[in-house]
Structure 1
Amino acid sequence: MSRAVQFSEYGTPGVLRIVDVPPLTAGPGQVRLAVRAAGVNPIDWKILHGFMRQVMPVDFPGGLGSDVAGVVDQVGEGVTAFSVGDEVLGASLTPSYAQSALADPAALVAKPASVPWEVAATLAGSGITAWEVLNKLKISTEETLLVHGAAGGVGTFAVQLAVARGARVIGTASERNHEQLRSFGVEPVIYGKGLVDRVRAISPHGVDAVLDASGRGEIPDSIELAGGPTRVLSLVAFDATDTGIQVHMTEPGAGAPQALGDILALIEAGRLQMPIAGTYPLDEVAAALAVSQSGHLSGKLVVLPA
């Protein structure tokens, strides 16, 4: 038996339970992982509350988590990409808030020895999302990108990936996160009323593109600063599609090899950092989700199931 987080009804983190579950078996084209770390993402608590039930219904009892880092301990028929004992990171097929998880090898990459487990577990969801949206926005050298929620999970990746591309990056965040953003090469500004004036004070002609990773209602300001909706993209403002902006949702594991390869290369070169805001044992997953839902994080939260 192994331990896993499960819930049998939608609700607050209080409905979560740690249960013993039968061992998983890797089917054809799958690998089984001994999970060392699992990344916490906002979509996890949204699934728990039932906010995603129309597009991602839960088959109860259900689990949470898709970002994973661990050691391959079983290989299914036909798998040649990985062997037992390999350290990997990516997205799981089964919930990753557990001691064991199944994964598609195509959604995994090898974990470099220099990358800590807790960092490895944060890369698939937020990292791939940031990589994808920068491509979707066609961010290039010498362009100016405005990122809302620049100190959050996706924002932290996005601003560093954009800087690595040679873009100028302006990021909205709480003042307590400004110094960290400056260390990434970002020009920080306070979010909220008067944002357009604050951005124009340092970028008089506005910006070339906007990534909204916060959902604080900045879409009108974003469209104004970008000179139109075409290159404004939101990860959260699904109710603003009628404005002409782009709305993006990443599928777990999508685009993993190239995106994760690029991200890992930057980490190993010292050009990208992922601050860890907190780590939690499996028994404290409810606390991790409560912190995630509260917002205003600087970096990522990670569950350590072992």
Structure 2
Amino acid sequence: MSRAVIYERFGGPEVLDVVEVPEPHAGPGEVRVRVKAVGLNPMDWMIAASPQSAGRFGVGLPAGFGSDYAGTIDEVGAGVEGFTEGDRVYGGAIAKAAADYAVLPAAQSALYRLERTPDGIDDEVAAALPTPGLTAAAAVAAIGPGAGDTVLVGGAAGGVGVLTVQLARLAGARVIGTASPGTFDFLRHLGAEPVAYGAGLVDRVRALAPDGLSAAVDLHGTETAEVALALGVSAERISTIAAGPNPPGGVRATGGFEAMPADLEAITDEILAGRIAVPIAARFPLEEIRAAVGLQAGRHAHGKVVVTL
């Protein structure tokens, strides 16, 4: 037997249970990963909370939980090429990650991603990267920041935000990041100039950037996109990941699905070079999955929430 997080009804963290399940094994074309760490994302609890969200990913009840994982391959099915037992790997497995073992196809697909973990990247950092890394890379690529740009990043202290800030800074841009006041020192450490979100944001941004903004990335709702439009930023230089299918003013809706295959490798290269940091806000054992998801869903964590096994 092995452990897995399972829910049998949709809802908040209270529906998540750590249960014993039969130990899974790799079939033809599959590998089994002994999971060491799981990086939590808003997508995870949204799927668990809503049958509509779950349906979009083909998830039905009862369901497993979590997507981003890191660990070690301990079984390789027939016909698999390019991976062997003992390989350290990370990636995504929709509704399968929060378990002792994740069995997944070795071939990439929309629901599964399997990458070798570079030497020098530990499992917690690797588990924090797949969804946030691909999303941040796509959001930044959509606006094309460079030297001389002033970029407003909405939701800068979250798991996607910390990578977005650093990627934009590496491109040479000045970055202003919206967040709660308690995260301001944290954001300054990452190279962003913090500003409080909420009513009056237009005036606060204008005071910080009297010469204007040139681009923006909205990682939470539409507030940042609307502020950027009000301050004269052209819609084609504003990207958003959470505004739904019809973002305001014709701004660019994007997400990890638009990222390039090499984007995660580029981010891990920057981590190994010391130019990108991956802040881990909190670590929880698998038995405390409800507390971990509650913290992540509250959207006040500074960086990533990781579950360890």
TM-score by shorter chain over 0.5: yes
Partner secondary structure for residue 146 of structure 1: strand
Q: In the alignment, does 2:34 pair up with 1:34?
A: yes
Alpha-carbon offset, residue 240 of structure 1 = 4.5
Instruction: Quote the Cα distance in structure 1 between the aligned partners of 2:7 and 2:129.
Output: 25
Of 201, 213, 218, the match for 1:212? 218
1:66 aligned residue: 67
Amino acid at match of 2:79: G
Amino acid at match of 1:23: E
Alpha-carbon offset, residue 168 of structure 1 = 1.5
Q: In the alignment, does 2:174 pair up with 1:173?
A: no
Amino acid at match of 1:102: V
Partner secondary structure for residue 176 of structure 2: strand
Instruction: Quote the Cα distance in structure 2 between the aligned partners of 1:226 and 1:36.
Output: 46
Partner secondary structure for residue 153 of structure 2: strand
- CA gap 1:78/1:206 in 2 versus in 1, 3 angstroms: farther
- CA gap 1:243/1:94 in 2 versus in 1, 3 angstroms: same
Q: In the alignment, does 2:93 pair up with 1:92?
A: yes
Residues 143-158 of structure 1: pairs in structure 2 closer than 5 A: 143-158=149-164
Check the 8 A contact 1:163/1:185 in 2, yes or no: yes
Partner secondary structure for residue 238 of structure 1: coil
1:234 aligned residue: 240
Percent identical across equivalent pairs? 41
Amino acid at match of 1:158: T
Instruction: Quote the Cα distance in structure 2 between the aligned partners of 1:209 and 1:281.
Output: 39
2:9 aligned residue: 9
Alpha-carbon offset, residue 96 of structure 1 = 0.2
1:49 aligned residue: 49
166-175 vs 3-12, which deviates more? 166-175
Of 279, 282, 293, the match for 2:283? 279
Q: Deviations over 1:199-257 (max 9, x none)?
A: 22232232222111122634321212353322222221216535312222434xx7575
Instruction: Quote the Cα distance in structure 1 between the aligned partners of 2:133 and 2:248.
Output: 28
Q: In the alignment, does 2:303 pair up with 1:302?
A: no
Q: In the alignment, does 2:203 pair up with 1:197?
A: yes
Residues 224-263 of structure 1: pairs in structure 2 closer than 5 A: 224-238=230-244, 240-241=246-247, 243-251=249-257, 255=259, 257-263=261-267
Check the 8 A contact 2:7/2:64 in 1, yes or no: yes
Instruction: Quote the Cα distance in structure 1 between the aligned partners of 2:36 and 2:293.
Output: 18
Misfit runs of 4+, over 4 Å: 254-257
Check the 8 A contact 2:157/2:302 in 1, yes or no: yes
Check the 8 A contact 1:28/1:78 in 2, yes or no: yes
Count of aligned pairs? 303
Q: Deviations over 1:75-124 (max 9, x none)?
A: 12332222100111121255101010123444233223422221111000
Amino acid at match of 1:18: V
Check the 8 A contact 1:93/1:103 in 2, yes or no: no
- CA gap 1:42/1:196 in 2 versus in 1, 3 angstroms: same
Task: Give me the CA root mean square deviation.
Answer: 2.0
Unpaired segments of 5 or more residues in structure 2?
none
Amino acid at match of 2:135: T
Check the 8 A contact 2:215/2:233 in 1, yes or no: no
- Give the structure-1-normalised TM-score: 0.91
Q: In the alignment, does 2:298 pair up with 1:288?
A: no
Unpaired segments of 5 or more residues in structure 1?
none
Q: Which has the higher contact order (CA 8 A, sep 6+)?
A: 1
Instruction: Quote the Cα distance in structure 1 between the aligned partners of 2:27 and 2:167.
Output: 36
Check the 8 A contact 2:66/2:94 in 1, yes or no: no
Amino acid at match of 2:292: A
1:265 aligned residue: 269
Partner secondary structure for residue 271 of structure 2: helix
Check the 8 A contact 2:279/2:303 in 1, yes or no: yes
